[in-house]
Amino acid sequence: MTKILIPFEKSIGERRVSATPETVKKLKNLGCEIYIEKSAGELSGFNDFSYKENGGIIFNDNEIEPWENADIIFCIQCPDNKKLKNLKKGTLIIGLLNPFGNKDLVKLLSDYQLSAIALELLPRISRAQSCDVLSSQANIAGYKSVLLAASELDRYFPMLMTAAGTVQPAKVVVLGGGVAGLQAVATAKRLGALVFVSDIRPAVKEQVESLGAKFIRLPEIQEKVSDSGGYARAVSPEFLAEQREILSEHLSEADVAICTAQVLGKKAPVLIDEKMLEKMRPGSVVIDLAVAQGGNCVHTMQNEIVTKNGVKLIGASELPSSVPYHASSLYSKNLISLITPFINDGQFEIIKDDEIISGCLISDNGAILQEKVFEIGGSS
């Protein structure tokens, strides 16, 4: 019987959990045994009692036996060395393991001969959509970024006609129209803002227009802007310079900029530079979701509010964690979709040449499989 362990997430600011009582029940029905570290779901709104009621086994922080016996660790972020050293050879860790350029992770996985699936690398094929944690979490980040901007902004979002006069709607510029960006567009539209979007993938134009937003024209420079997996590629410095030129005009009239532009495994493109920032209106707000990848806006710092020329710059890398109930519910369902096809009568058996698994399995019993990912230095 496969034993799955659900840790209490120890990283600072992390409030999510990798399994909910509902998904524990599903795993139990598949014949697995599920060990949940005490209070693991407390910050997401799931108490130990509800896990127990659904067939989970609660263990204490100081117990190492569940770690020693675990076959699979479901996690959001990778557990630390102190926990990993207790795992037996071949234990499979599944989570957002932050593999890009992460030499420490390589060392841990090979030293302890562990297997690992980095969910960041899940191939973006139709069959994998139900397992796609990047999408489920980015959706939340996009939604919350707009709420955060609205609460920090010095003015209304909607247009209002009042006896005291007419209030013009806020102008929101969304940089990057992927999963987070499209959700930000939809949320800002619901709040009544005028929304403009910049993305380098031409396919995004139709998507943002269908949501009632306007697409900002692309640079004239012709470049291959996306790869076969649907992700954007890093563009040339000349392309970016022309893009910033176009954006500068829009940003000088904007009340809010939501930055979501990313290039997988690379540093995020800088889309708001010093000069553009100087032209922005004092009181306007920039929310930078790409801050952990270096940021789309100069001066943004992770989980901090920095004010430059009266513009509030908010580096928001942990927004999914600020909606922990739904972030955990969706994440844990993604994990169930990922592993269910590989469980038979309670026994988990990984199929390494399955297209989804081969795309995101980064270590097999300590043998590192995606060397290139770990070598990425991160430059755009």
Active-site annotation, residues:
124, 129, 132, 135, 231
CB of 52 to ligand NAD, least distance (A): 35
Measured in degrees and rounded to the nearest 5, phi and psi for residue 345 equal 45, 45
Burial class, 351, CB count within 10 angstroms (exposed 0-12 / middle 13-18 / buried 19+): exposed
- Give the interface segment with ligand NAD, choosing from 97-105, 188-196, 198-206, 337-345 (CB under 6 A): 198-206
The residues facing 194 across adjacent strands are: 171
CB of 326 to ligand NAD, least distance (A): 18
Q: Using the rule CB under 6 A, is 231 a contact of ligand NAD?
A: yes
List 92, 175, 259, 323, residue binding ligand NAD (CB under 6 A):
175
Interaction mask 255-294, ligand NAD, x per CB under 6 A? -----xxxxx----x-x-----------------------
The three-class DSSP label of residue 102 is: coil
Closest of 48, 59, 76 to residue 3, by C-alpha: 59
List 25, 124, 190, 299, residue binding ligand NAD (CB under 6 A):
124
The three-class DSSP label of residue 246 is: helix
CB of 224 to ligand NAD, least distance (A): 12
Alpha carbon distance 117, 95 (integer Å):
7
Question: Residue 107: CB partners within 8 Å, gap ≥ 6?
Answer: none
CB of 352 to ligand NAD, least distance (A): 21
**Residue 34 or 235 having the CB closest to ligand NAD:** 235
Identify the DSSP state of 284. Answer: -
Alpha carbon distance 9, 76 (integer Å):
7
Comparing every residue's Cβ against ligand NAD, the nearest one is: 178
Where in 202-221 is the site for ligand NAD (CB under 6 A)? 204
Q: Using the rule CB under 6 A, is 195 a contact of ligand NAD?
A: no
List 201, 205, 214, 267, residue binding ligand NAD (CB under 6 A):
201
List 27, 78, 134, 291, residue binding ligand NAD (CB under 6 A):
134
- Tokens for 191? 């709040």
CB of 268 to ligand NAD, least distance (A): 8
Where in 48-67 is the site for ligand NAD (CB under 6 A)? none
Alpha carbon distance 100, 141 (integer Å):
21
Alpha carbon distance 370, 230 (integer Å):
20
Burial class, 79, CB count within 10 angstroms (exposed 0-12 / middle 13-18 / buried 19+): buried
* Interacting residue ranges for ligand NAD, rule: CB under 6 A: 124, 126, 128-129, 132, 134-135, 138, 175-181, 198-201, 204, 230-232, 235, 243, 260-264, 269, 271
